């Protein structure tokens, strides 16, 4: 098992100090719990208290963190109970930690917590966790976010299925359908909600189920 010691501000070429380039376990000893590297390049896979798995270390990289070329950062797993600060990074796997600061752009296809869509305070709060604009007369989805489908069970009785389940059932769901159809006022609202979706109903002024061309659901959560 390889072991080495290096100092702050040193340029480390991974392939240069480990013989096993593509699959190695790094148990390097950092001089301090915090390391500042101008350029760090990893050509293979590493694990342990090193730089592809950062555990209990504060890792500051003012320069690029690269896998092959220094201009691109790539991590399979990045864990830090301290702070992570970087300008460029590409992550194919999971990122977890208690602190993180990126001065550049973070691009991810899905931003989740293990328990659901930004269900805890680690994500952006104050924005909708799901929304949909549905035309109940033509069965047309006009726009949506985190809603995989609309199930029509009866006239005016819909179930909106979340694409990614919510992490709890204490979220706030608001549903509104066109208030006046042909001059007759009805009512609409949420009748049930679960981590999987929201059931709603709409009725006309005589208590019968009612579709309309305007049906909107918004789900907010912490």
Partner 1 sequence: MAQVIIYTNNNGGVSVCIPTGEISIEEVLAKDCPTGAIIVDDSTLPKGADAQFFDAWQLNGSTVTVNLEIAKEYKLKRFNADAIAVIQKRQLNTLAGISNDISDEIFANELSVNRTAIANAKTTDDLALIANPV
- In angstroms, the CA 113 to CA 120 distance is 7
DSSP H or E stretch at residue 16: helix 14-17
E strand map for 54-171: 58-60, 65-66, 74-80, 84-86, 90-97, 101-102, 128-135, 140-145, 147-154, 157-162
Taking alpha carbons only, the member of 81, 126, 119, 123 closest to residue 106 is 123
Instruction: Give CA 106 to chain center in angstroms.
Output: 11
Which region, judged by CB under 8 A, interacts with partner 1, from 10-18, 78-86, 99-107, 148-156? Answer: 148-156
Q: Closer CB to partner 1, residue 126 or residue 183?
A: 183
**Choice from 109, 114, 126, 207 touching partner 1 (CB under 8 A):** 207
114 near partner 1, judged by CB under 8 A: no
Q: Closer CB to partner 1, residue 96 or residue 144?
A: 144
Tell me the torsion sign for CA atoms 42, 45, 48, 53.
positive
141 near partner 1, judged by CB under 8 A: yes
What residues form DSSP beta bridges with 202?
Answer: 188
216 near partner 1, judged by CB under 8 A: no
**Choice from 155, 195, 213, 216 touching partner 1 (CB under 8 A):** 155
193 near partner 1, judged by CB under 8 A: no
Smallest distance, partner 1 to C-beta of residue 140, A: 8
208 near partner 1, judged by CB under 8 A: yes
153 near partner 1, judged by CB under 8 A: yes
195 near partner 1, judged by CB under 8 A: no
The residue count for binding partner 1 (CB under 8 A) is: 24
Q: CA dihedral defined by 20, 88, 34, 17, rounded to 10 degrees?
A: 20
**Choice from 144, 195, 213, 216 touching partner 1 (CB under 8 A):** 144
Smallest distance, partner 1 to C-beta of residue 127, A: 17
- In angstroms, the CA 196 to CA 198 distance is 7
**Choice from 122, 163, 178, 195 touching partner 1 (CB under 8 A):** 163
User: Which residues in this chain contact partner 1 in the complex, by CB under 8 A?
Assistant: 132, 139-141, 144-155, 161, 163, 197, 205-209
């Amino acid at each position: 098992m390889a072991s080495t010691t290096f100092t702050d501000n040193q340029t480390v070429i991974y392939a240069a100090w480990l013989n096993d380039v593509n699959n190695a376990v790094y148990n390097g000893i950092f001089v301090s719990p915090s390391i500042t590297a101008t350029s760090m390049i990893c050509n293979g896979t590493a694990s342990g208290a090193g730089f592809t798995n950062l555990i209990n270390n504060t890792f500051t990289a003012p320069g690029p963190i690269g896998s092959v070329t220094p201009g691109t950062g790539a991590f399979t797993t990045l864990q830090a109970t301290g702070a992570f600060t970087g300008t460029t990074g590409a992550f194919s796997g999971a990122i977890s930690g208690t602190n993180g600061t990126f001065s550049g752009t973070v691009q991810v296809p899905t931003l989740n917590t293990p328990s659901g869509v930004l269900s805890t305070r680690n994500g952006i709060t104050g924005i909708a966790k799901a929304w949909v604009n549905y035309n109940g007369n033509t069965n047309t989805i006009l726009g949506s976010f985190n809603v995989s489908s609309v199930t029509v069970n009866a006239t005016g009785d819909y179930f909106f299925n979340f694409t990614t389940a919510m992490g709890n059932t204490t979220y706030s769901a608001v549903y509104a359908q066109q208030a006046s159809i042909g001059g007759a006022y009805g009512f609409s609202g949420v009748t049930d909600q679960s981590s999987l979706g929201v059931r709603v109903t709409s009725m006309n002024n005589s208590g019968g189920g009612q579709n309309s061309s305007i049906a909107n659901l918004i789900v907010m959560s912490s």
